[in-house]
Structure 1
Amino acid sequence: MSGRELWADGRLRAAWAARDWPTLIRRYRALAGISQQRFGELVGMTQGYVSRLERGRLRVVSEDVVARVVRGLEVPIELGGVRSQGREPEWSPSAELRDRIAHAHHTGRTDLRTADWIGLVLAKHRRAEDAIGGRDLWPIVRSQLGSVTELIPHAAGAAADRLMLLAAEHAHWLSWVAWQEQRRGPALAWIDLAHGWAVDGGHADMASWAQRVRAYYSLTHGDPVRALRTAEAARYAGPRALSPAAEAVAVHQEAMAAAQLGERDRAVRLAEEAHTLALRAPGEEERPGWLYWLDATRSQLQVADAAYACQRWQDAADGFRQALPALAGYPRDHAYYRARLEDAERRA
């Protein structure tokens, strides 16, 4: 959620109306998944000052401070705030972030409950990105990644591996949004980080997924040969077997690259294989979190996409037409596949 979307929360709005600063700060930080340090950066305060406010040791009496809170937290108009200032995101990974994870896997105490909560928040952001895009969510997800990487150096063994997966999931999300915003360099940097962190943590499904995303980037950027090689590598991402869902999306990406290279029979065969694998995938709660969307409808759309790429227009049109009603709750995706359907029907 963006800063403005957080204000849909009733407890946050009530705290603002009462100028209950301890509750306001605690609630905002909990909703956004950010540290006191990050909160202070948003509103132009030091971490120590934020800490004293949150503990009720200080009161806010300066209108200048109130104004900074209004701007920094994007308090909405109806609560006496201002319109969003539209700050430009900082797209590339920072050296500090890389360094923090480079010093991971030290024995110590870490707060896995915080990590679990951040994981749930990321899951909500994935779904929100489907509907509204990711630019407004970018600062929050990046802040959450900062929180995750702060936990990693204090973890060891399975706990550190689990945090590495969470960091990789965040980096993948940031890569995807950067790519949608035409920030190709940062997108590639983030997906490389996601892949490296997944490998370091021993997470074959995420390592494969990062490779699959890399293949997609190559394909959409006009390099189907590299896309095919990367997709093939995604299918064999490590010594551990992939889950059916992870293998399905890797095989589908291989099919799309093969179609682009004119290997249509191979592409059709791979698309059907990917569909079979997807139908073997367990329910959403047991699939990797980033593959929450891979249900029977999405798998059917992937088959239709492969048929479209192979210029099998009637097969593509039939597949899109069958799946479209299930996309009623996803206006952006519905519009995209509706356009694909209409184009396939014209060409059939």
Structure 2
Amino acid sequence: MSGRELWADGRLRAAWAARDWPTLIRRFRALAGISQQAFGELVGMDQGYVSRLERGHARVTSEDVVARFKEGLHVPIELGGVEPRRALHWDPSSELRDRIAHAHAVGRADLRTADWIGRVLVEHRRAEDEVGGHALWPIVRSQLDSVSQLIPHAAGDAADRLMLLAAEHAHWLSWVAWQEGQRGAALAWIDLAHGWAIDGGHTDMSSWTQRVRAYYSLDHGDPVRALRTAEAARYAGQRPLSPAAESVAVHQAAMAAAACAERDLARRLADEAHELALQTPDAGERPGWLYWLDPARARLQLADAAYACHAWADAAAGFRESLTALEGFPKDHAYYRARLEDAQRRV
């Protein structure tokens, strides 16, 4: 595994952002398959000092040592400015808004950097369930800064690609902010993501951001607003949605309809969402942020809608059938496991 590939790992990046040297050394060595001696050779340190750092018996206090880590471990450029923070800045900055708004201009953008940032964002999505979004927040926020600095130097399709990447980052930041109880910041980020998706002509992403807003409304106890927003997500643009994007919008409408006590409508929508999801069983056929919508997840969503409609036997059967597919996703597994247990008690 090359140094660049190592740095796609979410836990390694989180350790660098937090200056958590014991975790960083252990994780890097595990991914690279190297000894403490070999690690020391990369960063210009003897094995004994590396051992003390890894066990937490020594501290890094010199920026010269940090520079050795940065150079020897080939830390990606978008992580170079990340500093540990006691308090995270949750809201979007005005500088970011100004930098990215209406910034298309003929120039030369480094799309290789953009492609790399897009790849590691995929890894962050997958790592968030294990590492936690709070730990990854400063990294993703730093990556968004890198993307926004590329946009003024791009035009045409390249600019549109960068707008989508910016929208994906803003969506991730919104989702984590919501989970952390930062609701105002979450809404600000999702609004930015929606605007950037529209500016870039990305119908699937603009639909997804509306779907997320519908989820927020439902989670906040406003099912009527959630239903209206989810229905709007289904018709987000002039171009038709991909089956996967339409599926998640329809599923969110089903969950909102169930909360409005419109259970017949909810079950019809849930069945429709399931059928749409099954049209794209391969991850390569779905938008990147819907990597998780495989047939097992689609079945779990159908069961979740049955649960919301108080169809306990159908819900329990669906959860039992597909729960094993979530063994690598502890938070999602715990959520659906709790649903299964509750449904079984109610049958």
Give the alignment's TM-score, normalised by structure 1.
0.82
* Residue in structure 2 matched with residue 91 of structure 1 by the alignment: 90
Correspondence 1:9 to 2:31: no
Alpha-carbon contact 2:111-2:158 (below 8 Å) kept: yes
- Secondary structure at 1:280 match in 2: coil
Alpha-carbon contact 1:6-1:28 (below 8 Å) kept: no
Please list the CA deviations of residues 115-156 of structure 1 after superposition, one character each: whole Å capped at 9, or x if unmatched: 000001101000001223210000000000000000001111
After TM superposition, the structure 1 stretch with the greater mean CA deviation from structure 2, 115-124 or 12-21, is 12-21
- Separation in 2, partners of 1:184, 1:322: 34
AA of the residue aligned to 1:24: F
Alpha-carbon offset, residue 33 of structure 1? 2.7
- Separation in 2, partners of 1:13, 1:284: 36
Correspondence 1:319 to 2:338: no
Q: Could you tell me which of 46, 58, 70 is aligned with 1:25?
A: 70
Alpha-carbon offset, residue 162 of structure 1? 0.2
* Residue in structure 1 matched with residue 278 of structure 2 by the alignment: 279
State how 1:114-153 maps to structure 2 within 5 Å.
Answer: 114-153=113-152
- Separation in 2, partners of 1:273, 1:177: 29
* Residue in structure 2 matched with residue 215 of structure 1 by the alignment: 214
- Separation in 2, partners of 1:276, 1:291: 16
- Separation in 2, partners of 1:28, 1:106: 35
AA of the residue aligned to 1:248: S
After TM superposition, the structure 1 stretch with the greater mean CA deviation from structure 2, 22-31 or 214-223, is 22-31
* Residue in structure 2 matched with residue 333 of structure 1 by the alignment: 332
AA of the residue aligned to 1:296: P
* Residue in structure 2 matched with residue 161 of structure 1 by the alignment: 160
CA distance 1:325–1:306, shift in 2 (3 Å): same
Alpha-carbon offset, residue 16 of structure 1? 3.5
Alpha-carbon offset, residue 324 of structure 1? 1.1
Alpha-carbon contact 1:6-1:32 (below 8 Å) kept: no
* Residue in structure 2 matched with residue 255 of structure 1 by the alignment: 254
AA of the residue aligned to 1:33: E
Please list the CA deviations of residues 81-124 of structure 1 after superposition, one character each: whole Å capped at 9, or x if unmatched: xxxxx722110000000000114101111100000000011010
Correspondence 1:226 to 2:271: no
- Secondary structure at 2:135 match in 1: coil
Q: Could you tell me which of 79, 83, 102 is aligned with 1:34?
A: 79
AA of the residue aligned to 2:197: A
Alpha-carbon contact 1:6-1:31 (below 8 Å) kept: no
Alpha-carbon contact 1:243-1:281 (below 8 Å) kept: no
- Separation in 1, partners of 2:289, 2:269: 22
Alpha-carbon offset, residue 333 of structure 1? 1.4
After TM superposition, the structure 1 stretch with the greater mean CA deviation from structure 2, 6-15 or 245-254, is 6-15
**Aligned residue pair count:** 302
CA distance 1:295–1:196, shift in 2 (3 Å): same
Alpha-carbon offset, residue 326 of structure 1? 1.5
Alpha-carbon offset, residue 29 of structure 1? 6.8
Cα root mean square deviation, aligned:
1.9
CA distance 1:183–1:9, shift in 2 (3 Å): same
Please list the CA deviations of residues 257-299 of structure 1 after superposition, one character each: whole Å capped at 9, or x if unmatched: 0000011011000000000000001511231110010001110
Alpha-carbon offset, residue 240 of structure 1? 1.0
